[in-house]
């Protein structure tokens, strides 16, 4: 069983809709991540929160808006998406270490389809 | 910069065959190395890791040894099972990389009964 929980597992939305993806972890990790994964590709980093502050934004379009309400929760707000944004969105968490990211724990993902 | 190169798939094996998936890397600093596995319809799971040269990571019968001299971290398993069918990603993280994990392109493994 994954210790990072993502909801919903599947989401279909139109280009004018507003929706949110949610992620929760109770491992006490202080870094949380959003990744985007297209079929047959590795995950691509979108955002990193470290100690509830946005640490990395990989030049993601503003139609994706992350939010970290507390150390256990991470949201990704979606608005005016394009069909090419259809993908698997993965949340991950880790305990930051001096040696790098430390081990990342991934959720099972939210599969997004934009019509 | 940092990069990971792993063998192109797909790899198709019969049950009980020996598996090797090659992974080489370039890194600007001293990396930690990881193998992640993604089963169909699921997220990524850490399979094994190694944080310094000559370390051997192992889990579920899989092994990989951190070879600094050849900048490699090849994944091996002596006898694969149908349940090992998945996509395998080699990845690295460098000290001071500010949370960035660099992935290889992934290798799809299919094991037939």
pLDDT tens sequence across A50-95: 899 998 888 999 999 999 999 999 999 999 999 999 999 999 998 8
Three-state SS for A45? Answer: strand
Residue labelled with tokens 């949340």: A91
- Chain A residue closest in CA terms to B94: A100
Over the stretch B8-41, which tens digit does the pLDDT of each residue have? 889 999 999 999 999 999 998 889 999 999 999 8
**Tokens in use for A82?**
């394009």
Q: Is A90 on the interface with B (CB under 8 A)?
A: yes
C-alpha to C-alpha distance for B33 and B64, rounded to whole angstroms: 10
- Laid out side by side, the sheet with A18-25 consists of A4-7, A18-25, A73-79, A64-70
Contacts of B41 (CB under 8 A, 6+ apart): none
Chain A residues with beta carbon closer than 8 angstroms to that of B98? 48, 55-56
């Amino acid at each position: 069983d994954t210790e990072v929980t993502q909801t919903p597992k599947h989401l279909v939305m139109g280009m004018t809709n507003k929706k949110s993806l949610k992620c929760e972890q109770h491992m006490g990790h202080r870094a949380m991540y959003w990744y985007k994964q297209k079929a047959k590709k590795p995950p691509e980093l979108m955002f990193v929160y470290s100690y509830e502050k946005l640490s990395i934004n990989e030049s993601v379009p503003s139609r994706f808006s992350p939010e970290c309400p507390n150390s256990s929760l991470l949201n990704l707000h979606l608005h005016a998406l394009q069909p090419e944004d259809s993908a698997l969105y993965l949340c991950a968490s880790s305990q930051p270490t001096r040696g790098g990211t430390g081990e990342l724990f991934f959720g099972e993902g939210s599969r997004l389809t934009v019509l | 910069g940092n990069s990971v190169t792993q063998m192109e798939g797909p790899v198709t094996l019969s049950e009980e065959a020996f598996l090797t998936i090659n992974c080489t890397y370039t890194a600007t600093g001293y990396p930690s190395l990881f193998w992640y596995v993604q089963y169909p319809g699921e997220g990524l799971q850490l399979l094994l890791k190694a944080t310094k040269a000559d370390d051997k990571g192992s889990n579920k019968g899989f092994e990989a040894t951190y070879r600094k001299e050849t900048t490699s971290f090849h994944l091996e398993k002596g006898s694969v099972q149908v349940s090992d069918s998945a996509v395998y990603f080699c990845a690295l993280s460098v000290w001071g990389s500010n949370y960035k994990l660099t992935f290889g392109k992934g290798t799809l493994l299919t094991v037939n009964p």
